[in-house]
Chain A
Amino acid sequence: EPEVTQTPSHQVTQMGQEVILRCVPISNHLYFYWYRQILGQKVEFLVSFYNNEISEKSEIFDDQFSVERPDGSNFTLKIRSTKLEDSAMYFCATGDIGSNQPQHFGDGTRLSIL
């Protein structure tokens, strides 16, 4: 069964550094999403991406964050000037065309800011 692939599985970074989280979507999926889950809390939406542009973003997704599809396959989340509170699991999800298609999640990247 096709799956969403995320790398790295675990990233440890010093506060203030930049990190890039990578996702390879399921090949025929057109909708891409990033979510995060702080330990012990619920899964929160960050941003959705369709047709090479952001379609929606949450209040969490401020100027510190950016997304892109640099090579038409990978989907990346960049976090600049990381803060301690950015420590969380970051999940990429993708969805097929069709308004009611479910989103499929990758295994996540555990981001630890020291």
Chain B
Amino acid sequence: QKEVEQNSGPLSVPEGAIASLNCTYSDRGSQSFFWYRQYSGKSPELIMSIYSNGDKEDGRFTAQLNKASQYVSLLIRDSQPSDSATYLCAVSRGFQKLVFGTGTRLLVSP
């Protein structure tokens, strides 16, 4: 069983739509959950962090965490072509290593 699973995509949405990205993880001891955005050839860029069950909103981004289901999601509202990238889900136990999923490629068409 993979530690962090994501659908590789691509997920295609039209400009202005809501993009929904999902992630499941296997380690029930995970305490910290992150979404990073990675453009091709670039480094991961932190866009959201979430630590407790429920929703966390930051601008157009909403992260959702359900520890019982071992499920993390990211919603991007009013998607823009500049949001086209690979979105990496990462989990960790506190300050320990990040375990990444393979990423979901998002394509936002004008």
Chain B proximity of A28: nearest CB distance (Å): 14
A42 B101 Cβ-Cβ under 8 A = yes
B95 A42 Cβ-Cβ under 8 A = no
Q: Mark A68-104, 1 if CB is under 8 A from B, else 0.
A: 0000000000000000000001010101001111111
- Which residue from chain A places its CB closest to the CB of B6 in the assembled complex? A42
B96 A48 Cβ-Cβ under 8 A = yes
Which residues of B lie under 8 Å from residue A99 when comparing CB positions? 31-32, 94-95
Q: How many A-B residue pairs have CB under 8 A?
A: 61
B32, B42, B96, B98: which has the most chain A beta carbons within 10 Å?
Answer: B98
A103 B98 Cβ-Cβ under 8 A = yes
Interface size on A, residues (CB 8 A): 28
- Which residue from chain B places its CB closest to the CB of A104 in the assembled complex? B46
B100 A42 Cβ-Cβ under 8 A = yes
B42 A45 Cβ-Cβ under 8 A = no
Sorting the interface of chain B by its residue count into under 10, 10 to 19, 20 to 34 or 35 or more gives 20 to 34
Chain B proximity of A99: nearest CB distance (Å): 4
A43 B94 Cβ-Cβ under 8 A = no
B96 A105 Cβ-Cβ under 8 A = no
A–B Cβ pairs within 8 angstroms, 29 of them: A31-B95, A35-B98, A42-B88, A42-B100, A43-B88, A43-B90, A45-B97, A45-B99, A48-B96, A48-B97, A50-B95, A56-B96, A89-B43, A91-B44, A93-B98, A95-B95, A99-B31, A99-B32, A100-B32, A100-B49, A100-B94, A100-B95, A101-B95, A102-B34, A103-B46, A103-B98, A104-B46, A105-B45, A107-B42
Residue numbers of B with Cβ under 8 A of A are 31-32, 34, 36, 42-46, 49, 51, 88, 90, 94-103
The 4 closest A-B pairs by CB, nearest first: A99-B94, A45-B97, A43-B100, A105-B43
